[in-house]
Structures are given as C-alpha cells and as structure tokens.
C-alpha cells in the first residue's frame, strides 16, 4: 500500500472517482437484488455490477497502475471482456429456469411457450 502514496494528486482524484462510482453502482445493483419485487426484475440488478461496476473499477485500476509504473497497462481490459462475455450464459440459464418453473406452475403474467411452427430441425452448420 505504501507505494500508493507516490500517486500524483490529479491521478488519485481520477482513480478515486472511478472506484467510488464503480463501487456505488455495484452497491446499487446489490440493493436492487434485495429490494426488487419478483425474480425477473431481480435478474436485472446484478448486471449493473457486471457492466458499469466492472468497467469503472477496471478503468480505475488501469489508470492507477499506468501512472504508478509510468507505462501503458491494458490487461484489465481482459477482465471486462471476459465478464461481459460470460454473464449472458448465467443470466440466460437463470431466466430459462425461472420461465420453465413458472410455466409448469402456471403462474399468471408469464408468457406461454409458443408452439413451434414446424418440426424442430437440428441447426444446420453452415459451411
């Protein structure tokens, strides 16, 4: 931690701003997870942390270490890319599980499964 005191003031202000804003967004996402009324709306809350929160905090980290070590630091971009790439997998899994449950239990307000137009064909792999 001691070497963080080498950070010039202007950089410290920028880093602080990004970290606090990112943390605030992640916190709001968590509050949303706690307070939103039903499952589908709760599905939206954590994406605040995985988009805004991750982007801002990783940007802060990039700025901080780029200034401290006096060179370009880019590898945090990988964190952003991988988090954004992998979130849809979990989100779709949860969403589909919830849809399936609600359809089986025949809850109201849940869209019914559409009847397939034709027999499901295995997707043709294009050349």
Rank residues 106 and 127 by Cβ distance to other proteins and give the closer one.
Answer: 127
Of 1 and 89, nearer to other proteins (C-beta) is 89
Our CA dihedral for 66, 70, 75, 76, rounded to 10 degrees, sits at -10
C-alpha–C-alpha distance, residues 103 and 95, integer Å: 12
> How far is it, in rounded angstroms, from Cα 54 to Cα 31?
17
| Residue with Cβ nearer other proteins (6 or 119) | 119
Closest distance of CB 113 from other proteins, Å: 8
**Residues in the site for other proteins, rule: CB under 8 A?**
25, 28-29, 31-32, 35-38, 40-41, 43-45, 47-48, 50-52, 55, 73-75, 77-78, 84-85, 87-88, 91-92, 95-96, 99, 110-111, 114, 116-118, 120, 123, 125-127
What is the distance of C-alpha 120 from the center of its chain?
A: 33
Q: Which residue in 16, 3, 26 sits closest to 59, CA to CA? A: 16
Q: How far is the CB of 28 from other proteins (least distance, A)?
A: 5
């Amino acid at each position: 931690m001691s070497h963080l005191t080498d950070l010039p003031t202007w950089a410290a202000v920028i880093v602080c701003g990004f970290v606090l804003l990112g943390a605030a967004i992640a916190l709001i996402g968590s509050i949303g997870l706690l307070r939103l009324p039903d499952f589908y709306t709760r599905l939206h809350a954590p994406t605040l942390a995985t988009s805004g929160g991750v982007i801002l905090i990783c940007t802060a980290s990039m700025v901080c270490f780029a200034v401290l070590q006096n060179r370009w630091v880019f590898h945090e971009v990988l964190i952003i890319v991988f988090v954004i790439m992998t979130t849809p997998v979990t989100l779709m899994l949860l969403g589909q599980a919830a849809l399936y449950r609600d359809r089986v239990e025949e809850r109201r307000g849940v869209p019914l499964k559409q009847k397939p137009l034709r027999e499901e064909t295995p997707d043709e792999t294009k050349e």
